[in-house]
Amino acid sequence: MSPPFAELLAEAALALIRRRLRSLLTILALGVGITTLITLQLIDSATSNAVRTALDRIDAHGFYIFPSDAASDATTVAFSDKELDRMRILSPHILSVIPMHSERQLIRVGRHRARLMLRGDSDPHTAQALRYGRALTHDDIDTYARVCVLSDSAYLKLFPEGGNPTARTLRADDQRYTIVGVQSSGLNGLVPSLLNGDVRIPYTTFERTRIHNQPLLALRFVVDDTQNVARVESTVSSYLDTEKRKSGLYQFFDHAMLASTVNSICVALALSVSCISLISLLVAGIGIMNVMLISVAERLREIGVHKSVGASNVAIFMQFLSEAFLLSLIGCGLGCGVGLIVGNVLDRTLAVHLSGVTPQIAWTQSITVSGIVMTAITLLFGTYPAYYAMRRTPMEALRAR
């Protein structure tokens, strides 16, 4: 009959204490592996969720057209004003066709300055959460108004002291624009800034004040409903193919394509993270097996004595398996705690910088993963040493020095 589980753990703890240096090094190796696993898992999960959340908040009522890699000459793919007018009436679902222009500029407000993305755009069809003021309107576009809307990150850089900045002016080179609104922090971060811009002005104003006979290469189509985006894309592609005979020189880009690309990248990162973590855990598990085999070799006489006084094979097996379990428990517990702390700190910086969204930490998932890994390591790398100890005969064990 095997002793109770609590007694087995007590004996295992005493055995580990007697070999404390070896046990400590094994626990550290396993802890580092678990820390790596939890940290990478949290970074991957939080960053993926944050970027997906940021993408979900970006307008999906439209798509973009850019020249493809096959377009070697910009003049062959540039759009004229007449072509824009024709495409605006291709479908009743098209609300507007907006020329896309952007450039990175040194923006100044008083004594504060920052290099930000200045974009010519219009969002009268997109609901915006605003911290201050209002969004751009049709009147701003039609009247070539010199107004702008700041992203939250641009607001924090240009107005670190806070306060309502509406009605104040900023300078981009020699041009001045009046601030009419500031977006809320929901669209703050690297991904939204690259897609939406930091300082947004009416695209008509951008064309008048920023562009000097440059070819128009990119367009944004605003559609009345997300369900009609694919249909309008097909219509525009057919127009380019039949009227201009060069649809292959353009690439279409919409919210669904971006989400699909991000998902593919996230899956690839998750697989890479898993492989790296499994390699480190495999090394730690082999270390546990090695330590347990050495422990069995050193304690053959102890095994012989136990068997001579009536200890069963199951009791010997459970004694050594409990030592492997205790090593795994302590190593996985420490690694999980450190991994949660490190992962949380990195998530609060990396994920927020990328998307502006504070990630949800997957505490439950991380603890569950640690428990599964602990069980797997115990069973995979602790079973053989325990079985090896169980198979020693009393005479073989007692003859050992």
Asked whether the predicted pLDDT for residue 182 surpasses 60, the reply is: yes
Q: What is the mean pLDDT of residues 74-81?
A: 73
| Residue 220: per-residue pLDDT | 81
Spatial distance between the Cα atoms of 379 and 373, rounded to a whole number of angstroms: 10
pTM for this prediction: 0.57
What contacts 115, CB < 8 A, 6 or more positions away?
A: 104, 105, 106, 107
Question: Would the pLDDT of 125 be above 60?
Answer: no
Q: Which whole number is the average pLDDT over 378-384?
A: 83
Phi–psi pair at 2, nearest 5 degrees: -80, 145
Mean model confidence pLDDT for the chain: 78
Tell the residue number behind the tokens 């939204």, with chain if given: 192
Alpha-carbon separation of residue 40 from 37, 114, 157, 357, 362 (angstroms)? 5, 33, 31, 19, 12
Q: What is the pLDDT of residue 15?
A: 79
- Looking at the predicted structure, is the pLDDT value of residue 311 above 70? yes
- Whole-number pLDDT of residue 353: 59
Q: What does the pLDDT average to over 376-397?
A: 80
- Assess whether pLDDT exceeds 50 at residue 123: yes
pLDDT band of 341, cuts 50, 70, 90:
confident
Reply yes or no on whether the pLDDT at 193 is more than 60: no
Q: Which residue has the higher pLDDT, 384 or 186?
A: 384
Q: What is the pLDDT of residue 127?
A: 46
Q: How confident is the model at residue 380 (pLDDT cuts 50, 70, 90)?
A: confident
- pLDDT tens, residue by residue, 235-260: 888 888 877 666 567 888 777 777 77
Q: Is 73 exposed, middle or buried (0-12, 13-18, 19+ CB in 10 A)?
A: exposed
Structural contact between residues 97 and 221, judged by C-beta atoms closer than 8 angstroms = yes
Residue 177 is predicted with a pLDDT of 94
Higher pLDDT, 125 or 289: 289
* pLDDT, mean of residues 378-401: 77
Confidence of residue 352 (pLDDT cuts 50, 70, 90): low
**pLDDT > 60? residue 191:** no
Beta pairing partners, 96: 222
Residue 354 near residue 191, CB atoms below 8 Å: yes
Average pLDDT over residues 26-37: 82
Tell me the pLDDT band of 185, cut-offs 50, 70 and 90: low
**Separation CA 382–CA 225 (nearest Å):** 59
At residue 57, does pLDDT exceed 60?
no
Summarised one tens digit per residue, pLDDT across range 224-235 is 888 888 888 888
**Band (159; pLDDT cuts 50, 70, 90):** very high
pLDDT at 359: 58
Using the predicted structure, report yes or no on whether residue 18 has a pLDDT greater than 50.
yes
Better-scored residue on pLDDT, 322 or 44? 322
CA 339 to chain centre: 17
Nearest to 32 by CA among 284, 273, 328, 377: 284
The CB density around residue 264, as the number of other CB atoms within 10 Å, is 10
Tell me: the pLDDT tens digits for 197-216?
788 888 888 878 776 666 77
pLDDT recorded at residue 226:
81
pLDDT at 315: 84
